[in-house]
């Protein structure tokens, strides 16, 4: 996972979603997750995944970096589906739900700076929890840089190339072990520094306001529409045989989104 790429997109991006208020995007993400929980048909789930991908493409978010991150939960969902799903359709539903939920969260993270995602959480959680989340965010970048330095040093000193996957895997494992020890030392040093500076809690982050009200409305309207579609297919038996329409609509959204994304570059 390239944490720096996520943060670069969230901080430096200027898409329609970037201009929406963080609170609106959090609510929209919650509605999308509610839609994922509500869905009970793999065709509807596939349609939502395609539609979300099309929406991200339309606002010019970096799909090449987003999609691999959204696909990670599919690996764990496949294991669960193989062990617990009574049939192929249910297994496909498990996997598609995991990917769709991950895509909704990844879209939020790529369009919203990390402190702004957790700033509202600070208002409802104990102070130490909010502060820990912010310090974790800072530490991730320090550890990412440290790991890159370790890998570079190993390649230069040991002469490891891409043609030696076994040696490269061993070296990476050793680097991860060293990074783990470094992380313990880093956490202790940060704790000591905060104590010396008189830390008593209160690393508050001010919540950004919307830069474009239409962006807030578009995000909330889209999420509400998706949730409404998911609920309709769940509670209306008459729609059971027409789930393919949701997949077709999602494919259309994806096509249109890709076209819009290319034209606005």
Question: Domain boundary at 167, 196, 225, which?
Answer: 196
Residue 135 lies in a domain: yes
Choose the weakest-confidence range: 88-102, 192-206, 219-233. Answer: 192-206
Q: 132 is written with which tokens?
A: 């820990």
Closest CA to 116 of 224, 209, 219, 221: 209
Q: Number of structural domains, the chain?
A: 2
* Burial bucket for residue 263 (CB in 10 Å: 0-12, 13-18, 19+): exposed
In a shared domain, residues 38 and 106: yes
CA atoms of 250 and 10, how far apart (whole Å): 25
pLDDT band (50, 70, 90) for residue 23: confident
51 pLDDT higher than 90: yes
Q: Does 181 map to a domain? A: yes
Mean pLDDT of the residues in the chain = 83
- pLDDT over 70 (residue 2): no
- Could you tell me if 28 and 80 lie in one domain? yes
Biggest distance spanned by C-alpha atoms of the chain = 67
- Comparison of pLDDT for 100 and 137, the residue scoring more: 100
Helix then strand count (H, E) for the chain reads: 10, 0
Residues 259 and 220 in one domain: yes
Q: Evaluate whether 247 touches 50 at the Cβ level (below 8 Å).
A: yes
**Integer Cα distance of 31 and 41 in angstroms:** 18
Residue 7 lies in a domain: yes
Q: Which domain covers residue 12, as residue numbers?
A: 3-118+209-263
Residues 13 and 101 in one domain: yes
pLDDT in tens, 138-186: 777 777 778 777 777 777 766 655 566 677 777 777 777 878 888 888 8
63 lies in the same domain as 177: no
Do 192 and 154 lie in a common domain?
Answer: yes
Looking at residue 36, its pLDDT comes to: 93
Rg over alpha carbons for the chain, rounded to the nearest Å, is: 21
Residue 202 lies in a domain: no
Q: CB of 49 within 8 A of CB of 100?
A: yes
Nearest to 17 by CA among 204, 222, 206: 222
Judge if 31 and 113 occupy the same domain: yes
């Amino acid at each position: 996972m390239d944490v720096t790429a996520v943060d670069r997109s969230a901080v430096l991006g200027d898409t329609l979603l970037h201009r929406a208020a963080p609170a609106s995007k959090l609510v929209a993400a919650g509605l999308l997750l509610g839609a994922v929980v509500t869905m009970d048909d793999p065709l509807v789930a596939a349609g939502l995944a395609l539609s979300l991908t099309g929406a991200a493409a339309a606002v010019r978010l970096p799909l090449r970096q987003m999609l691999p991150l959204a696909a990670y939960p599919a690996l764990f969902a496949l294991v669960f589906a193989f062990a617990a799903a009574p049939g192929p359709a249910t297994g496909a539903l498990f996997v598609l739900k995991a990917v769709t939920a991950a895509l909704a969260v990844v879209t939020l993270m790529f369009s919203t700076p990390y402190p702004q995602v957790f700033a509202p959480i600070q208002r409802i959680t104990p102070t130490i929890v909010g502060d820990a989340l912010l310090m974790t965010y800072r530490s991730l970048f320090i550890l990412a840089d440290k790991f890159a330095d370790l890998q570079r040093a190993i390649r230069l000193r040991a002469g490891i190339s891409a043609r030696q996957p076994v040696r490269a895997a061993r070296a990476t494992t050793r680097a991860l072990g060293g990074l783990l020890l470094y992380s313990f030392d880093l956490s202790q040093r940060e704790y000591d520094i905060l104590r010396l500076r008189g830390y008593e809690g209160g690393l508050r982050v001010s919540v950004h306001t919307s830069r474009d009200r239409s962006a807030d409305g578009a995000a909330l309207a889209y999420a509400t529409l998706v949730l409404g579609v998911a609920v309709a297919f769940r509670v209306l038996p008459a729609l059971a045989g027409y789930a393919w329409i949701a997949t077709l609509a999602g494919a259309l959204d994806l096509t249109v989104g890709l076209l819009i994304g290319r034209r606005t570059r």
